[in-house]
Amino acid sequence: MLSKMNNHPSTLRDAILNLRQGRFVLIHDFSSRENETDMVLAAQHITPDHIRIMRKDAGGLICVAIRYDIANKLGLPYMLEVLESVSKEYPNLYELINSQASYGKSAFSISVNHRDTFTGITDIDRALTIKEIAKLCDLAVKNFDDVQCRFASNFRAPGHVQLLIASDGLISKRAGHTELSVYLAQLAGLTPVTVICEMLDDETHKSLPSLSAKNYAKMHNIPFVEGHEIVSYYKDQMRG
User: pLDDT for 182-199, tens place per residue?
Assistant: 999 999 999 999 999 999
For residue 147, give its domain range: 2-238
Residue among 63, 179, 229, 234 flagged as catalytic: 63
Confidence of residue 9 (pLDDT cuts 50, 70, 90): low
Give the whole-angstrom CA distance, residue 168 versus residue 193.
14
Residue among 179, 198, 226, 229 flagged as catalytic: 198
Catalytic annotation on 63? yes
Residue 1 pLDDT: 55
Domain count within the chain: 1
Catalytic annotation on 215? no
User: pLDDT for 125-136, tens place per residue?
Assistant: 999 999 999 999
Confidence of residue 11 (pLDDT cuts 50, 70, 90): confident
Give the whole-angstrom CA distance, residue 68 versus residue 73.
9
Catalytic annotation on 198? yes
User: pLDDT for 143-167, tens place per residue?
Assistant: 888 999 999 999 999 999 999 999 9
Residue 87 pLDDT: 87
Kindly give the interhelix angle for 177-187 and 10-20, rounded to the nearest 10 degrees.
80
How long is the chain? 240
Catalytic annotation on 132? no
Interstrand relation of 25-28 and 224-226 (parallel, antiparallel or unpaired): parallel
Cα separation values, 159 from 82, 141, 145, 192, 215, Å: 16, 24, 25, 22, 34
Buried-state track 202-229, b at ≥16 Cβ within 10 A, e below 16: eeeeebbebeebbebbeeeebbbbbbeb
Q: CATH number of the domain that 131 lies in?
A: 3.90.870.10
Give the whole-angstrom CA distance, residue 203 versus residue 37.
16
What rounded mean pLDDT belongs to the chain? 92
Confidence of residue 10 (pLDDT cuts 50, 70, 90): confident
Residue among 113, 114, 229, 233 flagged as catalytic: 113
Catalytic annotation on 103? yes
Residue among 35, 57, 103, 228 flagged as catalytic: 103
Residue among 57, 78, 160, 228 flagged as catalytic: 160
Residue among 38, 125, 132, 229 flagged as catalytic: 38
Catalytic annotation on 113? yes
